[in-house]
Each structure stands twice: as C-alpha cells, then as structure tokens.
C-alpha cells in the first residue's frame, strides 16, 4: 500500500496525522492557522493538539505548536531495527574516507527514499553562496525515487509491477530540466542501472549535484537499502563520475553484502 487509503481507517487518526504533517510543513503553527490550513473547526483542531501534546508528540511555545521530540525517539527505534545497521554505518564511513565526498544510505519507505545515515565531506562543498543547504541530505528527509541515484538503484531491483505502483502513486515530477518525467524513459534508465550495477543522478534532483548509488541486498536477496556518493558537478565529472566513484561504490557494496551474509550465518 502506498498512498491509497485502506478501507478500515479511523477518521480521527487521519485528522491527527493531517495536523501533524501541517505543523511540520508550516514549521510550527497556531490553532487558527491549522484550522485554516486543514479546513477544520478551531475547536476540533484544539482537541487533537491537546491530545498529541499530552502524549509528547507536540510541544507548545506561546500559542504555537511544534513537532515534539517523541518522534525522534520513535525514528531511532525504527532505524535500530534495520538488520546489520552497524555494518552499514561502517560502510558509509569507509566510502567517505575513500572518496572524500558525501555518502548517504537510504531506504525505500512507501514509494520514496529516506536518508537514515549520512557522512559529510570534510571541506565546504558547494561554495559560500548559501546553496549548500539545499543539497545536503538530512536524516529523516524524503526524496523522490526517480530523481535520485539511490532511488533509481532500488527501483532497478524491483519488479516492473512494483515500480509501476510507485510511479502511479507519486508520479514523475520534474526537479530540474534533467529529471526523467516519462515512464518509458524511466524503465529504459532502470535497465541500464541493472546492467551496470549502479545508478547516476546527473543533476536530476538538484542543479549542480551529481550522485552515484547502488542497491544493497541482504542475506535473503531482498533490498535492504542503497548507498550513494554525492558531490558538486565540478568535482564529479569525467572519469571520476564514470569510473572512480562507481568502482568505489561497487567495492564497498560487495564487502558490505558479504559481511551481512556472514553476520547472518555466524
């Protein structure tokens, strides 16, 4: 199930989630702002907010409500359940040291990829114009699968029916002029990814950013997630983009997948 609404859902729970997402989107909001944003009565909004606050899911400052740290606790619990997490963390650090670039590990979550591990470049990466912030991955952030290296790497490991379902749910919105927005073109790209063993995001998610990613499979053959190396286009080009980084990514993938199997059988 991706974005479809299941038959047996509770409207009150959906309302609470809608309000939480609105608070995140607005970076904090008052009762009146949420009532307008979600087309709900202020009294209804208030009851939901008080309930969520009492359970630690919201914090209130003045008259403004913010997402609470309880979600961080739950998120860390979810991440800790990933099999072989310590081995994956070591692989991210190893790839960072080898490439001197940003390395991220993502997982697929309901048709999008989410960053769950990251390791930043040791230098200022994108200059001093303030643009770096829009490029840097953030733990817990969602990214479209069709426009990112890790997303395409994971999609290339899925059967066509599953890819179709993800595209049906999220579409193929353009992030830049280079983003793939045609389904036929996407499947052709996924065939190339599957053949060479890694995906390239050539400024498809953000202008000036390139990434190389590959899917990581577990002992059962299922996709655990994907690991990628990212950097500015002025550094990731030519042989670096086509040979050096892909070889490093594939080498770490081979070591990690072997270690995951050994850990499962040891």
pLDDT tops 60 at residue 57: yes
In tens, the pLDDT along 15-32 reads: 999 999 999 999 999 999
Same domain, residue pair 35 and 96: no
User: How far, in Å, CA of 141 to CA of 124, rounded?
Assistant: 21
Burial class (CB in 10 A: 0-12, 13-18, 19+), 115: buried
User: How far, in Å, CA of 17 to CA of 67, rounded?
Assistant: 11
pLDDT tops 50 at residue 124: no
Same domain, residue pair 170 and 191: yes
Evaluate whether residue 77 is within a structural domain: no
105-109, 114-118, 123-127, 188-192: least confidently modelled range: 123-127
As a whole number, mean pLDDT of residues 92-113 equals: 95
User: How far, in Å, CA of 241 to CA of 30, rounded?
Assistant: 47
Same domain, residue pair 93 and 202: yes
Q: Which helix (H) or strand (E) holds 143?
A: strand 142-144
pLDDT tops 80 at residue 243: yes
User: How far, in Å, CA of 36 to CA of 3, rounded?
Assistant: 24
Residue 70 is predicted with a pLDDT of 92
Query: Which has the higher per-residue pLDDT, 101 or 136?
Result: 101
Compute the mean pLDDT over every residue in the chain, rounded to the nearest whole number: 90
As a whole number, mean pLDDT of residues 188-203 equals: 97
Same domain, residue pair 40 and 157: no
Q: Is 33 helix (H, G, I), strand (E, B) or coil?
A: helix
Q: In the block, which residue shows the tokens 């030519």?
A: 238
Q: Domain ends where: 41, 70, 99?
A: 70
Evaluate whether residue 40 is within a structural domain: yes
Q: Which helix (H) or strand (E) holds 59?
A: strand 58-61
| Chain centroid offset of residue 32 CA | 32
Q: How many domains does the chain have?
A: 2
Q: Is 169 helix (H, G, I), strand (E, B) or coil?
A: helix
- Among 83-87, 89-93, 126-130, top mean pLDDT goes to 89-93
- Written as one string, the DSSP assignment of 70-119 is HHHHHHHHHHHTSTTHHHHHHHHHHHHHHHSSEEEEEEEETTEEEEEEEE
Which residue range is the domain that position 24 belongs to? 11-70
In total, the chain counts a number of residues equal to 266
Q: What are phi and psi of 138, to 5 degrees?
A: -125, 135
The DSSP letter of residue 142 is: E
Residue 22 is predicted with a pLDDT of 95
- Report the candidate in 98, 120, 91 with the shortest Cα–Cα distance to residue 214: 91
CATH of the domain at 123: 3.30.450.40
- Residue 244 pLDDT grade (very low, low, confident, very high; cuts 50, 70, 90): very high
Same domain, residue pair 31 and 117: no
Same domain, residue pair 89 and 62: no
User: How far, in Å, CA of 248 to CA of 243, rounded?
Assistant: 9
Same domain, residue pair 167 and 36: no
CATH of the domain at 57: 1.10.10.10
Residue 137 is predicted with a pLDDT of 64
pLDDT tops 90 at residue 129: no
Q: Domain ends where: 33, 48, 70?
A: 70
Residue 128 is predicted with a pLDDT of 45
User: How far, in Å, CA of 16 to CA of 199, rounded?
Assistant: 38
Same domain, residue pair 61 and 36: yes
* Residues 6+ positions from 252 with CB-CB distance below 8 Å: 91, 94, 95, 98, 227
As a whole number, mean pLDDT of residues 129-144 equals: 66
Evaluate whether residue 2 is within a structural domain: no
Q: Domain ends where: 46, 70, 94?
A: 70
Burial class (CB in 10 A: 0-12, 13-18, 19+), 235: middle
Evaluate whether residue 59 is within a structural domain: yes
Percent of the chain with pLDDT over 70: 91
């Amino acid at each position: 199930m991706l974005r479809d609404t299941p038959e047996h859902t509770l409207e009150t729970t959906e309302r609470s989630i809608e309000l939480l997402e609105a608070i995140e989107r607005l970076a904090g909001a008052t009762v009146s702002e949420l009532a307008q944003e979600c087309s709900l009565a202020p009294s209804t909004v208030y009851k939901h907010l008080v309930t969520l606050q009492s359970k630690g899911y919201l914090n209130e400052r003045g008259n403004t409500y913010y997402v609470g740290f309880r979600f961080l606790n739950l998120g860390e619990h979810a991440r800790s359940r990933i099999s072989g997490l310590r081995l994956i963390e070591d692989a991210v650090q190893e790839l960072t040291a080898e490439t001197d670039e940003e390395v991220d590990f993502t997982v697929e979550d309901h048709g999008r990829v989410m960053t769950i591990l990251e390791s930043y470049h040791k230098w200022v990466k994108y200059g001093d114009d303030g643009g770096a912030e829009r490029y840097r991955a953030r733990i817990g952030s969602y990214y479209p699968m069709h426009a990112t290296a890790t997303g395409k790497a994971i999609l290339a490991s899925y059967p066509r029916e599953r890819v179709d379902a993800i595209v049906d749910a999220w579409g193929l919105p353009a992030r830049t002029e280079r983003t793939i927005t045609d389904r036929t073109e996407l499947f052709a790209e996924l065939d190339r990814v599957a053949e060479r063993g890694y995906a390239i995001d050539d400024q498809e998610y953000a202008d000036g950013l390139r990434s190389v990613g590959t899917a990581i499979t577990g002992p059962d053959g299922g996709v655990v997630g994907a690991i990628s190396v990212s950097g500015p286009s002025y550094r990731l080009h030519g042989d670096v983009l086509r040979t050096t980084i892909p070889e490093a990514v594939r080498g770490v993938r081979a070591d990690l997948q072997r270690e995951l199997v050994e850990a499962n059988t040891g």
